Amino acid sequence: MRTWLTIALSFLWNERGVTLNLATKTSWDASIPEYWDRAVMMESDRQSIINQLTGADGSDAPVLQKMDLTKQAGDKITFSTLQRLLGKGVSGTTALEGAEENLVNGTYAVTVELFRHATAANDIARKEVLFDFPKIAGQRISEWHGRFRDDNLMDQVLNTDTIQTNYAGGKTSRGNLGPADTFNTRELKRLHVAARRRGVRKFRQTRKGPLPWPIFGAMISEIDYYQLIESDDFKQDMRLAQARGDKNPALDGDVDMYQDIILWVFGSVNPGDGMLGSFLRPEARLAATITASGTSVTAGPTTAVTNVDYWQYFPGAYVYGPAISGTHTVLIDSEQMTYTAAPTDTTLTVTRAAGGTPGVAHTAGALMTLNNVGKVLLFGVNFGLEAWAMPVTRIRQERDYGMELGIGVKWIYEVKGVENADDTLANCVVMETTAPNPNTT
């Protein structure tokens, strides 16, 4: 007896002598280059800031990268690092034999997971565009994937692992930060001292190869970077340290190193689509006007995109985001609002008029921040791990007789910070600052 499935399928096949009319483009696969997924991975590598800092397992790069294709999702990939030598050596005629110091090997296991993302299009809706759809999709997925990798490691070291935290202005907590506690040369030097006191070692290896001398690195938001380069002490240091002429950083703005610290500016992407911010400085846009007493705050554009978390960089966000523990403050215009529960979809429930600020109405499009909190991450050698069990691999799905195409990627990987024996991060420190927006952008 034939099943209902074979009966149904017989109408599409040849039991009645019927042949389906095929589109002239017989398969989307022919329009997708053979090495499409490799190109996506290479472009992701190019756009990721974190990838610029990677090196092979066992190297002295800031982020160790290892691929083990024998692993599957849920498996662990093990990394090795070597601790510094602490012995006192020998002197004079004392025999060295038997007094050698063993290299202590530190091992760290990273559990990898399966991740996926895709986009889709309809051949009828925009036929003239779809000829280049695989190329366009690849570019957009590469851009997204590079940002995803940066976000994932930032979230791990800043919010998931335990990191030594300092506060600008010598303050003892985030709640004590005031308007004057911005990032400047003094605070950068304090962070520099904290790193040295913490035992953070400089690195001299990146993705591009060895550096001429060992240095520290710092991830910094564009707002904290602006506060730094606008400080009078910074400008004066640039004047004194550089030769006169048109290549002076004080004139051309090409400032990427200060007192053996390379500055990587990690910007909040704001192309007008309602998504902005980073884990270094959480931001969002107010999606709808709220009254002076309203308690539901919605983030994003007027028309939100499905499956997008516009709160994702704020504590308690449900896609990435740090945990919700404690009370957190959102600043909209000049009003502070507090929340203690994670956002539901795109909506956050708040308590109005916090911190002595008056409750007023706010219009759609207003900038929202975590009370202008910024973070500067200073790091050295081997502060992070990036484990891969499968590189970016193409996912393709055709539906409706080839008229619809879904194209995406899957990969198996995960990240982790390198920890000391006390479960705190070993080779990085962070400073929280007051990072006020210089304008309404």
pLDDT tens-digit map of 285-298: 999 999 999 999 99
Per-residue model confidence (pLDDT) at position 135? 80
Average pLDDT over residues 122-150: 77
Per-residue model confidence (pLDDT) at position 440? 54
Predicted confidence band of residue 220 (pLDDT cuts 50, 70, 90): very high
Per-residue model confidence (pLDDT) at position 384? 95
Higher pLDDT, 347 or 402: 347
Residue 19 has pLDDT above 90, yes or no: no
- Beta-bridge partner residues of 105: 82
Per-residue model confidence (pLDDT) at position 433? 97
Per-residue model confidence (pLDDT) at position 16? 46
Angle at 184 between CA 182 and CA 186, to 5 degrees: 115
Residue 383 has pLDDT above 90, yes or no: yes
Per-residue model confidence (pLDDT) at position 235? 80
> What angle in degrees, to the nearest 10, is found between the helix axes of 133-155 and 36-47?
40
Per-residue model confidence (pLDDT) at position 323? 62
Percent of the chain with pLDDT over 90: 50
Structural domain boundaries in the chain: 25-83+104-274+373-441, 282-369
Residue 161 has pLDDT above 60, yes or no: yes
This prediction's pTM: 0.84
Per-residue model confidence (pLDDT) at position 54? 94
- Provide the token pair at 404: 């619809």
- Mean pLDDT across the chain: 83
pLDDT tens-digit map of 236-260: 877 776 555 555 544 444 557 888 8
Closest CA to 379 of 408, 326, 417, 348: 417
Percent of the chain with pLDDT over 70: 81
Query: Are the C-beta atoms of 136 and 130 separated by less than 8 Å?
Result: no
Per-residue model confidence (pLDDT) at position 411? 96
Instruction: Flag the least confident range among 25-34, 137-146, 384-393, 429-438.
Output: 25-34
Closest CA to 65 of 384, 391, 379, 378: 384
Average pLDDT over residues 58-81: 92
Is the domain defined by 25-83+104-274+373-441 classed in CATH 3.90.1690? yes
Residue 93 has pLDDT above 70, yes or no: yes
SS3 of 193, please?
A: helix
Burial status of residue 36 (CB atoms within 10 A of its CB: 0-12, 13-18, 19 or more): buried
